[in-house]
Structure 1
Amino acid sequence: MCLLVPDISVGRGFATYVKSTGSNFYGTHKTYLHSFPDGRVVDANRYHIDALPEFIKYIHEKWIPENAEKYFKARDPLALDYLPKLLGTRGELIQ
């Protein structure tokens, strides 16, 4: 089974998004050491579960339209075939 998980840039992007939008979750996160299967250990932010809808909004409205093409082109070019199905003809995420 292949599991594709977003990389560190998604978390960093969300942290920037939370700050730039004036979110109530800005500054409320805790940090923890996150271990990757390849042995890397990084500091990561952990937000309250109530931030999940805001994270989903960030993924749908910012990350996919602005970063998904570059991200998948480098990591999984076959996934590029599915982006138009997600984004529609004007680059807007299909709900």
Structure 2
Amino acid sequence: MSPSFSVYVEFSTPDASPDTYEALFEALADVDGSVGPAPSGCASARFTVQAPDFTTAASTSLATIAAVTGTRGVPLDSVMRLHIDSPNDQGAPIASS
């Protein structure tokens, strides 16, 4: 079995509605997702991906984010922070504004 990578994504969507959080939560259920407001007040999500290496984890994370955004009140281009923690706890920020 591949290692688990913990993924944190923050969107630049302030004051997301409860319906948006509920839709994101439901969409991330298969990847042990959780959603809520980030310290900035914008929507955020955390989920896990199984991958053999960091590069695959990053591409899988981006594909997961693309699949759950857009139709759920959070546009894909609103991702402002993406952070992936590797199994050895050596986190690696992928993108941040």
On whether the aligned pair clears a TM of 0.5, the verdict is no
Identify, as 1 or 2, the structure richer in strand.
2
TM range, smaller chain: under 0.3
Larger Rg: 1
TM-score (norm 2): 0.27
User: Comparing both structures, which one devotes a greater share of its residues to helix?
Assistant: 1
